[in-house]
Every structure is written in C-alpha cells, then in structure tokens.
C-alpha cells in the first residue's frame, strides 16, 4: 500500500479559513505563546518489524542556532543562508515531509487538499484522489479518499527546528487570498499543512466512508511539553505495524 500514487488537485486559494489569514508564526504563538524553544538534536527511529530499517536522524546547528545539516546516516542535506535568510538546501534527502516519520501508506500530506481545520487552526480533514485501474473498461477511475486528523494540545515539536532552518520565514511570506501572486506549490502546500499542535491520529476512509487505515501516535512528554518518545501504531484489516521514535533536544 505504500506505493499507491494519487492525483493532485490544488484549489488551495479557494479555502476561506482563519488559518489562511495569519502567518505560520502568528498562528503558533497565538496557540502556544508560552512554549519553550527547543531544537531537535536527534530522532532515533526503530521499526519493530524490520530492524534493518532503523535510523538515527541527526540535526546540527551553527553558532547562530541555524540548522546546518540534516542526516539519517545515509542521506544528508546542507542548509545555506544569506543575509540571515535561508538561501539554499543541497543534498539527497527530502526534508519537507515530516509525515514520513509516521510511515503512512498514503501521500495525503503531499497530495491532499485541506477542506477543514479544527478550532486551533490544525488541518483536520484532507481529501485526496487515487487512480485505480478498472479491468472492465481498461481505463483508470478516480476515487476520492479522505484523511481525518486529530491532535493533542502540546506545541508542534518540529516548529522551532523548522524556524531554525529558515522554513517558517519562507512560509510566512505566503499569503492565501485570491489576489496573491502564485507561489511555489511546495511552499503553499507546506504552509497549508503545518499544524500548531502534535498529531495523534490519522484515520483514512475510502469513497464509501469505510475505514481503510489508521495511525495512532502515543507520546511521552517531558516537563516542558516536548515528547521524549512516541509510539506510532499503523493498522489496516490485514496487519498492524509499530514504529518507535526517541527524541533528543537542545535549548534554543
């Protein structure tokens, strides 16, 4: 199921929501105004079913607390800055899709269209589309799927690390309204999907509303409301898989 491909529809500018009227930093500070600033130093990812896939993801910073490198031991990225702002990311590893940590079998976070936000501005319902081959007609049918997302009340653990990489500043330049000059599709998508809290559950439903897949994330938090570990359980009608993540931080 991890190899399913989806068509991408992006009528993002037609969405009217308070989340689109504020910058990413304004939204985060409004909900998490007293949050401690902590940067991720490493994430140790353990796969219960296949230990050969275990990874230690390491983040390094320069003297100004800007993200310098991001590496999983196999691939790495180097961040470059000019005049205090992010100017380039070089390397082989995809850095924009934190959802990979949860090992979703779908590309909802990459291809989904947000149709609803919760009261805090977190994207709560996404729709996405699967191209499925119809053997009777010899053509492909487009099926609509949806993802229902739930969150806790703790500050997004990735926020200050994204800020240290200059990515929040990039997102804050994006304005969502009908008169906007078209922006980079990747930046627009990332801005629309950035939550202010931590994801705890994803439920995937097919075009008939039937549950087809679920992901549950259970965190253990420190006294500053940052997770020290997370257990990610993914299941469908055939199997259940478990992924463990352990987090280490540095104070900003």
Domains in the chain: boundaries: 6-251
Tokens (6 digits) for 16: 């009217």
pLDDT of residue 103: 43
pLDDT of residue 113: 82
Tokens (6 digits) for 156: 């997004």
Distances (CA, A) of 117 to 40, 57, 136, 148, 213: 26, 30, 39, 10, 21
pLDDT of residue 92: 56
What does the alpha-carbon distance between residue 227 and residue 67 come to, in Å, rounded to a whole number? 20
Q: State pLDDT tens for residues 185-204.
A: 666 667 778 889 999 998 99
pLDDT of residue 68: 95
Q: Coil, strand or helix: which one is 238?
A: coil
pLDDT of residue 142: 86
107-110-113-117 Cα dihedral, nearest 10 degrees? 100
Residues of the chain with pLDDT under 70: 1-21, 92-112, 174-189
pLDDT of residue 156: 93
Q: Which residues of 194-233 are buried (b: 16+ CB within 10 A; e: fewer)?
A: bbbbbbbebebbeeeeeeebbbebebeeeeebbbeebebb
Tokens (6 digits) for 8: 């991408």
Contact residues for 172 (Cβ-Cβ < 8 A; gap 6+)? 23, 24, 25
Q: Which of 153, 157, 150 is nearest to 215 (CA)?
A: 150
Distances (CA, A) of 210 to 52, 111, 216, 238: 34, 20, 18, 15
């Amino acid at each position: 199921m991890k190899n399913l491909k989806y068509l991408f529809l992006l009528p993002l500018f037609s969405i009217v929501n308070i989340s689109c009227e504020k910058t990413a930093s304004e939204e985060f500070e409004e909900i998490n105004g007293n949050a401690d600033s902590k940067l991720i130093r490493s994430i140790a990812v353990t796969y219960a079913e296949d230990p050969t896939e275990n990874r230690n993801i390491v983040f390094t910073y320069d003297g100004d607390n800007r993200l310098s490198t991001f590496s999983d031991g196999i691939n790495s990225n180097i961040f470059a800055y000019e005049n205090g702002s992010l100017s380039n990311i070089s390397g082989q590893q995809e850095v924009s899709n934190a959802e990979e940590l949860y090992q979703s079998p779908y590309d909802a976070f990459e291809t989904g269209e947000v149709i609803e936000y919760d009261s805090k501005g977190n994207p709560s319902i996404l729709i996405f589309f699967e191209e499925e081959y119809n053997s009777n007609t010899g053509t492909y049918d487009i099926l609509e799927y949806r993802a229902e997302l739930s969150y806790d009340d703790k500050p997004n653990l990735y926020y200050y690390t994204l800020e240290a990489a200059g990515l929040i500043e990039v997102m804050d330049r994006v304005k969502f309204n009908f008169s906007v000059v078209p922006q980079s599709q990747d930046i627009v998508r990332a801005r629309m999907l950035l939550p202010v809290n931590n994801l705890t559950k994803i439920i995937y439903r097919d075009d008939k509303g039937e549950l087809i897949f679920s992901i549950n994330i259970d965190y253990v938090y420190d006294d500053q409301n940052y997770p020290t570990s997370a257990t990610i359980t993914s299941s469908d009608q055939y199997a259940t898989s478990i992924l463990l993540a352990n987090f280490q931080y540095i104070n900003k």
